[in-house]
Each structure stands twice: as structure tokens, then as C-alpha cells.
Structure 1
Amino acid sequence: MLKPLLLITAIFFTAHSSAKLDTLPEEFADFGLDSDLTISYGDLDQLLKITVIDLGRSDRGFRKGQSGIGTRTRAHKNNDTALEANRFYYEEVVKANLKTGFKKIRLSLEQVPEQIPLNELVLSEQLAYWLNLYTTALLEKLIEHYPIFSTEDLLFGDNSLLDEEFITVMGHSLSLNDIQHNIVFKKFGKNKPIVMYGFHQGNIGSPNLRPEAYVGSKVYYQLADNGEEFVNSNRGMQIKGKDRLYLSVYYQQTEALFDDFEQD
């Protein structure tokens, strides 16, 4: 039996959740039962394939501390997570014309509900839409702030980019936190809490960034794959000693999805 339950704070950042969208707008609340309408994400899929480096699954390995020539000082920061999680080509993306690609796709995705009302889509198609919009918008903002030496203030400070209302869908101004907590978690999360694994945040303690877009026909498989990768990595969970389970504090951000957070 694993007890007590402890949360890693040395590696991962303090949990933060703030979203201003109090209730789920009517335009986002319903769904189609047997609709065969689908949304194509070929442009986003291709962009992710050329900008995300897939490093594969964690083997729970640790990077050895590195020391420079002529010094006894060794670097040990995050050695247990340094070899984990996919990487994003920030430097190359910023140098190339690709830096505007995510913004263009985000603006295009915002217009989709004007052409196909979201309420006419089946739930899996809606979920894929929100996850892709979130991912595209997040990467757009991280690219704008690159180079980033610490994401703690950027993500969880008083002016968190997660709270910035720069996304507009059907006349509603939305933040990244609105999409995660007040749309996806409220509409999909209680029945399928696995949606928590669709929200990469650009830091080491969050779920992985996939090198592909989410697709309605396989979105739950993709989320299950994210979840399996996360919990089987040092970033997500670690067992130390005989009775201590350490978790990423990302789980505190998903507390609303659990009936009994501590026990669950």
C-alpha cells in the first residue's frame, strides 16, 4: 500500500487555476447524437509533426550530473526528468516563418463554429476541437515569449498567460484556463476524467505535447496514450522508499475531476 500521498514541489510548479467563464455558454453546451460531421486538422497536424520531437516513453532513468572541465561543481537540477517528454523546436520555429503558423491556425479554428455549429457535432469531435484550439493557442503564446528561462511566472504569476482572454469563439472571449476548466472539464471531465491529459502547459510537470493533432475518431485513444506516458514517467509519478508516492502538482489543477481528491 502506498502511503502517505505526497506532492512533488521541488520539480514542478505550484498549481494555479483561474477562469472567468462562469457558466457553459448555450452555444457550447449541446451535442449531436448521430452526426457524421467532422473537422479536418491537416494543417495543424503537419505543423506539429515538423516542430515536435518525439522522445518516446520514459524508462525512469536519471541523467548523471554534468560537470565542466576544471571544476568540481556538478549540475543536478531536474536530473530525474531531463530525459523525459517530447520537445518543441522553439528556436528554429522563431527563426523561421513557422512562428506565425500557430496564430494563423488558431484564428482559423476560432471561425469553425461559424461554419459548423459545435452543438451539431458528436462529443468526441467537440472535444478534439477544444483540445486543438487550446494547444494551438498555447504554443502561439509560448513562441511569443521565447526565450523562456522560467515558465513559473509566465504560467502561474499574477499575469498568467493561461488567464489572458485572447481567444474568441462565437462572440465569447476565452482564456486557456476557460477552455480547460470551464468548457472541457465541465462538459466532458466528470464522465471521462482522462481529458486531464490533453492539456500540455509548456513545462516539465504537465502532460506531453503530441506530435499530431487530436482527431475526433481517436481522441480518447490519444488521451489514454498521454495518460499512460505521464503516469509511467518521473514527471508524473515517482515511488521513493517503501511507502511514498510523489505526484506532479498538475493533479491539483485537475482536482475538480475527482469526487474525493485525496482518496482518488
Structure 2
Amino acid sequence: MRLFTILLLVLSLTEFVQAAEFDHSHQHFDRVLKQYVKNGLVNYAGLKTHPQELNSYLDQLASVPEDEFARWNENQQMAFLINLYNAATLRLIVDHYPVKSIKDIGGVLNGPWKQKVVHLWGETITLDDLEHGILRKRYAEPRVHFALVCAAHGCPPLREEAYTEKKLNEQLDDQGRRFIGNKEKNRVDVSAHVVYLSPIFKWYAQDFEKKGSPVLKWITPFFTKEEQAALTNGGEFKIRYTDYDWSLNDSSVGK
């Protein structure tokens, strides 16, 4: 009986140490992003030549058991899954590079988001599974759409740093300001009383409206103060959607 108790204690301590070992600073991915991403664009040619650290990082994420993940707090979980999505997307592009668009990968029925390329909890799933089946389903956080980057110019910009538990809220807010501040994707025409928005706000309107606010009201705080004042005090604004640019967010084009 005493031996059994000691064995249980050893197993518990082992699980604790294993859980403590995961690097929630995501330093390997942080180094990849700092080296190959600038102003939201990716040096895919360079990353394809030196993919070792990206591959090691993805292997590290794949080794985390689901029961360990379940013990983390929500910010740790979300940072992990967002980084996984972005890292797996980078590797998907690198594995098929050169391409002009992520949409060139796969076929009509087996496009890039249907490819089983994400290794998670002992399974191999798709990017769609990760985004729609896990992130959007489990977490009531619409700002995730500012963080997931689909390797296109129309996406929010890819950060030059990994998402982390401690900075997640700040990073998501900053992503919102950066994305909505891009006038090619989102802008306010005060004189015409029209707001031009990225199609992301049409595709995922239900996520932004979950807490009872219309999309435009929800995103107003991410506009400039002048635009916020116009939207708040200037009467009714119509919404129109900008074109989504699916060309690759590639900084190495022409080099």
C-alpha cells in the first residue's frame, strides 16, 4: 500500500514537471517571426531555405497532450492555438512555395484549409478544424479574427512576435487597430456616410454580434478618434465591403 502511494506521488510529480516544461513564451516561433516577418509580410524564400526552427516549434506543439492543454488557463490555450494556426499556415506555404496565392494549394474539394497539416493532441487535422471546430467554437473571442493569418494580403498583418499568455489581450487589441487602420481594407467615408469594411466582418458577423452589439458598433473603438466621433455622432452609416486580396503576403517577391 505504501509503495502504491509512493508510485502515485511520483506519477503526479512527473505530470506536474511535464506540464511546467512547456514554454508559454513560444520563443522558438517568436524567433522565426522576428527573422522572417516584416510589416506583415513574410520572407518565404528565406524560411523555405531554413525551416528547421519552424519545424521544431510545430513538433513541440504537437507533443503537448490534450489533458495537459486542458489544465492551462484560457489565455495560454488561445495563444497556443493561434500560434499553431499561423505556424501551420507558414509551413503549408513553405511546403508548396513558390505559389502566388494560398488558394493555389489543393483542388476544388481539397483546398488549403481542408489539407490535414495540423498536428494536435495525437491527431492530424485541418486548418478549418482548428479555426472553426476549436477556436471559434470554444472561445467567445471575436478578436481572434484579427490574429489568424491566412497568408494573404487581405488578412490582418502577421505579427513579428508570437502571441503569449501575458500579452494576449494587448496583442489582440493592437491587431484590431492595425487591421482596421489599414485604409485599403477598412475606412470611413464621413461625407458619404459609408463605412467600407473587410469581408471578414461579413463572413464572421455572428462572432462579432455574439454579445448583442452590431458589427459596426463593436469595431468602432478600433478606428481613429476622429472616425469614432463621426460614427458615434454622425447619424446612420451604410456598410460596404472592400475586395479581399488573396495574393500571397510574400516579401521575397522580386528578390
**Equivalent in the alignment of 2:55:** 103
The match for 1:93 among 47, 53, 56 is: 47
The residue type equivalent to 2:101 in the other structure is S
Q: 1:155 to 1:243 in 2, by over 3 A?
A: farther
| SS at 2:64 equivalent | helix
Offset of residue 157 of structure 1: 4.5
* Structure 1 residue 230 corresponds to structure 2 residue 175: no
The residue type equivalent to 1:162 in the other structure is W
Superposition TM-score, scaled by structure 1 size:
0.65
* Structure 1 residue 141 corresponds to structure 2 residue 141: no
Q: 1:91 to 1:40 in 2, by over 3 A?
A: same
**Conserved in 2, the CA contact under 8 Å of 1:194 and 1:227?**
yes
Cα distance in structure 2, aligned partners of 1:185 and 1:222: 18
Cα distance in structure 2, aligned partners of 1:155 and 1:228: 33
Cα distance in structure 1, aligned partners of 2:80 and 2:56: 16
CA RMSD of aligned residues (A): 2.7
The match for 2:142 among 193, 213, 222 is: 193
Superposition TM-score, scaled by structure 2 size:
0.67
Offset of residue 108 of structure 1: 1.6
**Conserved in 2, the CA contact under 8 Å of 1:166 and 1:173?**
yes
**Conserved in 1, the CA contact under 8 Å of 2:93 and 2:102?**
no
Cα distance in structure 1, aligned partners of 2:213 and 2:196: 13
Offset of residue 169 of structure 1: 1.9
Residue segments in structure 1 that go unaligned for 5+ positions in a row: 1-34, 55-85
Aligned length: 194
* Structure 1 residue 203 corresponds to structure 2 residue 188: no
Offset of residue 263 of structure 1: 4.1
**Equivalent in the alignment of 1:49:** 34
**Conserved in 1, the CA contact under 8 Å of 2:142 and 2:207?**
yes
For residues 53-72 of structure 1, the aligned pairs below 5 Å read: 53-54=38-39
| SS at 2:196 equivalent | strand
| SS at 2:94 equivalent | helix
The match for 2:196 among 241, 246, 255 is: 246
| SS at 1:216 equivalent | coil
**Equivalent in the alignment of 1:71:** none
Cα distance in structure 1, aligned partners of 2:205 and 2:133: 13
| SS at 1:112 equivalent | coil
**Equivalent in the alignment of 2:165:** 216
**Structure number having the greater helix percentage:** 2
Offset of residue 206 of structure 1: 0.8
The residue type equivalent to 2:115 in the other structure is E
Q: 1:164 to 1:237 in 2, by over 3 A?
A: same
Cα distance in structure 2, aligned partners of 1:134 and 1:148: 19
* Structure 1 residue 178 corresponds to structure 2 residue 163: no
The residue type equivalent to 2:181 in the other structure is N
**Conserved in 1, the CA contact under 8 Å of 2:188 and 2:195?**
yes
**Equivalent in the alignment of 2:82:** 131
| SS at 1:166 equivalent | strand
Identity within the alignment, %: 25
The residue type equivalent to 1:46 in the other structure is R
Structure with more contact order per residue of length (Cα contacts < 8 Å, sep ≥ 6): 1
Cα distance in structure 2, aligned partners of 1:235 and 1:226: 16
Cα distance in structure 2, aligned partners of 1:194 and 1:184: 11
Residue segments in structure 2 that go unaligned for 5+ positions in a row: 1-18, 216-255
The superposition leaves residues 162-217 of structure 1 with CA deviations (integer Å, 9 ceiling, x where unpaired) of: 121222322333211111112111111x2x32122110111111111011111111
Offset of residue 160 of structure 1: 1.6
The superposition leaves residues 6-42 of structure 1 with CA deviations (integer Å, 9 ceiling, x where unpaired) of: xxxxxxxxxxxxxxxxxxxxxxxxxxxxx99862411
